[in-house]
Structure 1
Amino acid sequence: MTDDTTVRLASPAAEEYLDGVRAALADLPAPEVAEILDDVRAHLADLTAELGGEVDTDALTARLGPPSAYAGELRAAAGYPPAEPAAAAAARPGYVRARLALAAPIAGALLFLLGVAAGEVAFVITGMLLAVFGLPLVISDGPRVPSVAALPEVRRLVAARPAPGTQGRRFADFVASLQPAWWLARAVAAAVLVGGLLADGGLPAVLLLAIVAVPVSIRVGHLTRRDRRWLWAVVPLNGLAAVVLLWLLAAGLPGPSSATSAASDPPALPGLWQDSERQIRDIRPVDAQGNPLTGVYLFDQDGLPIDTSGGAECGPLDGAVPDGNAAYPRGTWDFDPRTGSCRHTPPAPLVAAVPTTPAPVEVAPPPAVPAPEQPPAVPAPR
């Protein structure tokens, strides 16, 4: 008997084939399955070395047959009956546990995306908790999670894959080859999301976070290939990354233009301000001689009243608050911290220097130029 600790399968295809055999033998007692798999693992290691180390699932299937058929031969050689029907196996307690573990990340991801779309924080938190709920259920199964792989629906899904050499199989292999591109894309999505939450969301912050996120995402991708338990945490995060990427396609990447436009917009300030620098709290109208006027109402070019109160109440004072419809001068309102209420300061005496228009300068008319004297007329000869 070959010791499991000394035989390692360096080929991912051999590991995948071994998982198929393990799933087909999942109804047998665990010690018996471990003993059978020790022999299968040693056989696969020898076959991989015979094929030169570069082996795929198609080559193994051509030599040994499908994993389910090969497992049937091993089952018969060990003296066990054929596998029980899927309907009878579905009620087994191990399958119920595996189904809960399988449904947890899927339901959690859907609830998470629903919460993000609807803006409900409770849904987002519940989805995250539900997604990781299945992780403890499969943590003891090992990196390949054989209990989930043994589920009838999972086995049917694996068996429904296109046959090798068909157009569908080539397309599936092409999609699988794009995994590294998705690792980069989700790293960018994570950088944009974290940059928007923790930083200003500008392009420099996103680029700096992406430098850190890209190697982390690639590392997690490789870990997921070797240890399927990572999927219980990665699937919900992949759903969030997909939402962020769709939003980026619709809104565009953050850049200097967006930050510049946001900085160029003037701030919304309550009340009346002079060039957004000096607040005008009261207006003191005077006549042409500088004498203060009272009971004056001011309107803008559209006939709307000019209000300096800003529409805000500074605090209660027996129901008295700044009146935006009062005549000018109104005085000023301030908050008194000693009484916790508004304090009204009446208009103080005002001496205004009214700018005067300089008197027009009279320009003297130019002096009259005397007409030149006419020479005396000479009488005509007779």
Structure 2
Amino acid sequence: MITTTVHDDIRAFAAAVRSHLDDLPVDEVDDLLDGLEADLADQASEAGEDFTIPDAATYAAELRAAAGLPERDRKSPTGRPPIHRRLIGLRRTIETQIRRNPAAEWVINLMGSLRPLWWILRAVVLYLFIAPFFWSGYGWMSGTVAYLIGAVQFPGIVLMVGLLLLSVQWGRGRWAPSALLRGVRLSVTVVALLLTPFTLVSLASSLQSLVWDSSSHATSASPFTPGLSLDGQRVRNIYAYDAEGNPIPNVQLFDQDGNPLKTIGNETSGIPFDPYFYGGGGPVPVPFTAPGAVDAWNIYPLREIPAGDSSWDSVADVAKAKATAFPFMRVQPVPIGAISPSAGGAGLVQNGAPSPGADGLTPTPSSQPTEAVAP
């Protein structure tokens, strides 16, 4: 059984050997020193008091020779180690002291195993920093979530995959063969580290806003669909036919209280297009317009912006609206003897005209508005 002191000496020896190999890529050093501490611990257990820690510099040179790697360049302009190597040595000294505590050592090992997650997070942070310079968001959305959704589109895919590949390769010690590129890698990593808290806060805020908007919309709309609907599906347009089965252009429709019968919801009145369909890839209805008149949504059939012509410029898109074709050139005429939609329901339709009721009078529709309604 080996003592705690021997364990500490083995850790210090491994850190010293690593310092003699710090001119090599990190992944190569990890491969060379993989299992070093465990092997030395086994040797110490077998040798007991006769176990001796070898010289770190000699051991590192032997590892280089066995792996076919060049010798370490010992040249230095001032005869002293560069500042970054001294910082690395200081960090490893501190790490060795921290590892004397088993709980702290467990935390350090855990954090080391999570390094690939940091490589991915670094790429995501850099993506969210760069993306706003190239596009403003995804569709009608904005914010951090919008840029993440944009990553599934072609430009976003290219940028995200490139950053992920670069970040992972840098994390593995690759793609930084020169001191200049290693300096760039360090600078980018520091910037990403500084931006990470702000990115996480922005992402959480954007997600919360998205969930809040979705729940608010669902609460306000449930259990009804905005505007006019049939079996829970939005009605986009309406086509009317007369008693003879002929299409009726520009028909005005009202409900039982004389209110205009519109396919859109009341909260969207006053806009030049139906927002429910706008941007959805299908035709988009627009209101009936006339010089000097208020836009009307109850005069059918409505003109529509053709599918695929939406460009997120409402003025230009509305100008593309076209008259729609009736679904049928002609429909089945109203059968003779059908009940007419008259007051009291007593009149019958005969040859397209209402017949006298039981009192001998021709009924008049009670639902026709008495006031002129501007289109």
TM-score computed with the length of structure 1 as normaliser: 0.31
Q: Which structure: greater helix fraction?
A: 1
Larger Rg: 1
